[in-house]
Chain A
């Protein structure tokens, strides 16, 4: 980049010494400043808005609420943390929430793999375009409408019951099964898209080479394709896992009497007006997500979201 100084000896007209050009030359000579220019605005935004907010939430978890006035008292206490760690309610709900989130993630990955593979490697380019649109379109039907649609699909006088009755089946009704079904449905496009993008980047030549060297279809899938798209799979799983972990509306709509961690946080912020306890409960999903991110960091998944 420093080669720009060369034309002085030639007949090339000297560059106009405008302010922009001087600034530009200055920036090209100082890469650190260039970096600083690029990174300062986003870093300030994320730092001020998000890091400070999260840190404040963390601090709030160590405060308490005066039971008479409802005011937050800013004296340090471990009460909330102890309550959350030892209360059987919190343990039960945590296990239930993590179970639901894991199940949703596994279901979504299992559904996403074949359809993403078909989109990326089997369908022609025209078909591919149609399929991407078909997968993306439901994203625009509001989350709430889709959850509500499942409520009606799963209800006793809903379409599922109507379809299954002739075969002697019946709808699972509202409960954890309905929650898992609905959440899997809601996050499916977020899992399909990264896996599809990952598969698209796998060169066909590589798969053909494996075939030429005698690899059977399954061997190729297992030993060539899967390792290459593993980061994309993990990236998709971060979406389904995290979105399920914090959900409280779907479980309200189709979950029957069951609660998830999100519901506990929500009621403590709203109805119970106990922000410190809510913040302490919020530490559970935060810890779980950080654990999950640390676990998958080495796969390179974070570059594939």
Chain B
């Protein structure tokens, strides 16, 4: 199939238009972070750096960012371990109930967040009788983050096949050595990509968090929800959003570099 010059340019124009729409609201947020108006009205009546200064001094905002970071790191680590184990099990073994297990991995993300939220809330408080805390949020987040790791790793395992591992075993390496020196290095970028998505998912999750966080736990999305409609805080929320988008370029760029490097190696 050869695309004509015309259809290539049409596709290019459509892509640019879609990106323009994707960045329109983000642009509005960006400009509003400098606006003297607190109500997001357009066009902005004037510009100021006041909110940027205030945002970096807002203890509530910084605490919330820190809480969300810690939470996302722990949830990501747990989901990396569990996701890798289960993808190895499902990809390398045939067993009874395999389909059910793969459905079970997908379920926490396939079912709407509010269901996961109230189910876990009910589970922690009524069944286990444990008070809600940051740990109940970690457990909840890790549960729905497993799937992103799982998908990335199992896709990689499928493409790799078992030739290298068989060779390693034939040469006398035990299963730990084979995993450490053969399997793991080949999975590294898939783990990075899956971990990154898991981290993003956890960092931005609001619905499940609402139902599983104790009253003292303020993650960034909860902070934003609490402050979004407050006149003096709304522009600070815009600043935070802009900073997050800018900071996110770094990990996404690294992930892309790793994936790109591996593609050329092959």
A-side interface residues toward B, CB under 8 Å? 1, 3-4, 7, 15, 20-21, 23-25, 27-28, 31, 34-35, 38-39, 41-43, 45-47, 49-54, 56-57, 60, 111, 114-115, 117-119, 121-122, 125, 129, 131-146, 148-153, 155, 157-159, 161-162, 185, 188, 197, 207-208, 210-211, 215, 217, 220-221, 224, 238-239, 242-243, 245-249, 262, 265-266, 269, 275, 278-279, 282, 285-286, 289, 293, 302-305
Q: List 9 A-B contacts (CB under 8 A).
A: A20-B174, A21-B174, A45-B82, A50-B143, A56-B127, A141-B26, A144-B224, A262-B114, A305-B147
Q: Which residue of B lies closest to A145 (CB)?
A: B241
Closest chain A CB from B145 CB (angstroms): 12
Of the candidates B12, B26, B43, the one whose C-beta lies within 8 Å of that of A138 is: B26
Q: Give per-residue flags for B6-29: 1 if the beta carbon is below 8 A from chain A beta carbons, else 0.
A: 011001101100110111111011
In the complex, the answer to whether A142 meets B118 with C-beta atoms within 8 Å is no
Q: Which residue of A lies closest to B118 (CB)?
A: A269
Q: Which residue of B lies closest to A121 (CB)?
A: B3
Closest chain B CB from A138 CB (angstroms): 6
Of the candidates A15, A35, A157, A188, the one whose C-beta lies within 8 Å of that of B172 is: A15
Question: What residues of chain A lie closer than 8 Å to B181, measured between beta carbons?
Answer: none
Distance between Cα atoms of A134 and B26 in the complex (Å): 12
Question: What residues of chain B lie closer than 8 Å to A3, measured between beta carbons?
Answer: 169-170
In the complex, the answer to whether B112 meets A159 with C-beta atoms within 8 Å is no
Q: Which residue of B lies closest to A154 (CB)?
A: B25
In the complex, the answer to whether B253 meets A246 with C-beta atoms within 8 Å is no
In the complex, the answer to whether B22 meets A138 with C-beta atoms within 8 Å is yes
Question: What residues of chain B lie closer than 8 Å to A304, measured between beta carbons?
Answer: 151
Distance between Cα atoms of A210 and B207 in the complex (Å): 47
Distance between Cα atoms of A242 and B144 in the complex (Å): 14
Known: A24-B175, A248-B114. 19 other contacts (CB 8 A): A31-B93, A38-B85, A42-B146, A47-B104, A57-B119, A60-B122, A114-B11, A133-B253, A141-B26, A141-B244, A151-B40, A152-B40, A159-B28, A162-B42, A185-B25, A210-B1, A217-B3, A246-B115, A266-B114
In the complex, the answer to whether B170 meets A132 with C-beta atoms within 8 Å is no
Closest chain B CB from A205 CB (angstroms): 11
In the complex, the answer to whether A53 meets B114 with C-beta atoms within 8 Å is no
Give how many B residues have a beta carbon under 8 Å from the other chain's beta carbons: 100
In the complex, the answer to whether B114 meets A158 with C-beta atoms within 8 Å is no
Of the candidates A21, A133, A152, the one whose C-beta lies within 8 Å of that of B28 is: A152
Q: Give per-residue flags for B230-258: 1 if the beta carbon is below 8 A from chain A beta carbons, else 0.
A: 00000001101110110111001100100
In the complex, the answer to whether B122 meets A42 with C-beta atoms within 8 Å is no
Q: Is B200 an interface residue (CB 8 A)?
A: yes
Q: Which residue of A lies closest to B10 (CB)?
A: A114
Closest chain B CB from A29 CB (angstroms): 11
Q: Which residue of B lies closest to A144 (CB)?
A: B224
Q: Which residue of A lies closest to B264 (CB)?
A: A125
Q: Which residue of A lies closest to B7 (CB)?
A: A217
Closest chain B CB from A226 CB (angstroms): 12
Q: Is B66 an interface residue (CB 8 A)?
A: no
Of the candidates B127, B151, B172, B228, the one whose C-beta lies within 8 Å of that of A148 is: B228
Q: Which residue of A lies closest to B172 (CB)?
A: A4
In the complex, the answer to whether A208 meets B26 with C-beta atoms within 8 Å is no
In the complex, the answer to whether A38 meets B115 with C-beta atoms within 8 Å is no
Q: Which of B46-54, B55-63, B95-103 contacts its partner?
A: B95-103
Closest chain B CB from A63 CB (angstroms): 11
- In residues 107-122 of chain B, which contact A (Cβ within 8 Å)? 107-116, 118-122
- With A39-B85, A111-B18 already in contact, the answer to whether A137 and B252 are too (CB < 8 A) is yes
- With A118-B15, A155-B40 already in contact, the answer to whether A293 and B103 are too (CB < 8 A) is yes
Of the candidates B4, B15, B89, the one whose C-beta lies within 8 Å of that of A115 is: B15
- With A153-B28, A158-B41 already in contact, the answer to whether A118 and B14 are too (CB < 8 A) is yes
Question: What residues of chain A lie closer than 8 Å to B28, measured between beta carbons?
Answer: 149, 152-153, 159
In the complex, the answer to whether B107 meets A39 with C-beta atoms within 8 Å is no
In the complex, the answer to whether A45 meets B241 with C-beta atoms within 8 Å is no
Question: What residues of chain B lie closer than 8 Å to A53, measured between beta carbons?
Answer: 119-120, 122-123, 127
Closest chain A CB from B168 CB (angstroms): 10
